[in-house]
Copies of this chain bind each other. A is one copy, B any other.
């Protein structure tokens, strides 16, 4: 295993040390493994709390800051945080105006956030939750745990964070979160496995001439394994199911192409060069584009595409100032 690590058991604690050292705007609660804004939540502002397993950086800790999250609970690698962690994040972030939990749809995340929300409610904190489930690779979602939550989470955190910053109340913040969540679709492709530090070897073996289509962000194998294809063909494998899932013509959209951690930016741009015309052909009116490593799967070579149908309010909030390690503009 070729990684910058000391003891694999300490990866999370030590990465949090680095985050604290690098970002004076953030405060790391090392005991609870929670990343917070250094400044307490403004009175009256609804707090946004997210979290999940680690290994997806900059998500979520890198999205804590003005205009986006108030706190993020960091679980072990690929392991959702515990209710205690989420509760600590929730209580620390709450200014009295309530807290929105942004949860990705994985059994572990859903259960742990659910328990945390119950505990927080018992402590008198108002909590609303939104569960993101945008991965169109999961087609049989009615009979199963449903779709996974992936890239839409990033876009949601940005847009809804901006609304919260404007002072909207919890109901309005939660309503917008649900709208964004429903407007997003994602699809991921992996060229290699990733290596979980504690496991010490790749999660799966993939021959040199094969790739995994329809992967999530936890190094799990995808929906199908196919022959390695050209960027042009891969772009189609990503765009088609998303466009198909939208059904009707898609309106104005925000598009995120995220590398999965082991794919350099030059390849991401090349891939986007293939994706853009396909989206245009499908009638998607791309208004904003984000390319880079925003939601990752450790060192996996691969990429995920997210399309969020965005109305004027969402676009306005997307453009609003944001100051986080992972996304920063307008201030």
| B-facing residues in A210-232 (Cβ within 8 Å) | 211, 228, 230-232
Chain B residue at minimal CB-CB distance from A54: B266
| B-facing residues in A123-179 (Cβ within 8 Å) | none
Asked if A4 and B263 make an inter-chain contact with CB atoms under 8 angstroms apart, the answer reads yes
Interface size on A, residues (CB 8 A): 62
Asked if B276 and A21 make an inter-chain contact with CB atoms under 8 angstroms apart, the answer reads yes
Asked if A4 and B299 make an inter-chain contact with CB atoms under 8 angstroms apart, the answer reads no
A17 CB within 8 Å of chain B: yes
A115 CB within 8 Å of chain B: no
Main secondary structure of the interface of A (DSSP, over half): mixed
Nearest-Cβ distance from residue A110 to partner chain B, whole angstroms: 23
Q: Mark A292-324, 1 if CB is under 8 A from B, else 0.
A: 110010110101000000000000000000010
Asked if B231 and A272 make an inter-chain contact with CB atoms under 8 angstroms apart, the answer reads no
Nearest-Cβ distance from residue A39 to partner chain B, whole angstroms: 18
A199 CB within 8 Å of chain B: no
A9 CB within 8 Å of chain B: no
- Number of identical monomers bound together in the oligomeric complex: 2
Q: Mark A1-33, 1 if CB is under 8 A from B, else 0.
A: 011111000010011111111110000000000
Asked if B191 and A265 make an inter-chain contact with CB atoms under 8 angstroms apart, the answer reads no
Chain B residue at minimal CB-CB distance from A330: B331
A285 CB within 8 Å of chain B: no
Asked if B208 and A2 make an inter-chain contact with CB atoms under 8 angstroms apart, the answer reads yes
| A270 partner, pick from B14, B263, B277, B296, beta carbons under 8 A | B14
With A191-B3, A271-B4: A18-B263 Cβ-Cβ less than 8 Å: no
- Chain B residues near A273: list those with CB within 8 A: 14-21
Asked if A269 and B15 make an inter-chain contact with CB atoms under 8 angstroms apart, the answer reads yes
With A266-B54, A270-B14: A6-B296 Cβ-Cβ less than 8 Å: no
| A265 partner, pick from B62, B228, B263, B323, beta carbons under 8 A | B62
A261 CB within 8 Å of chain B: yes
By a beta-carbon cutoff of 8 Å, the part of chain A in contact with chain B is 2-6, 11, 14-23, 54-55, 57-58, 62, 77, 191-192, 208, 211, 228, 230-232, 234, 261-274, 276-277, 289, 291-293, 296, 298-299, 301, 303, 323, 325, 328-331
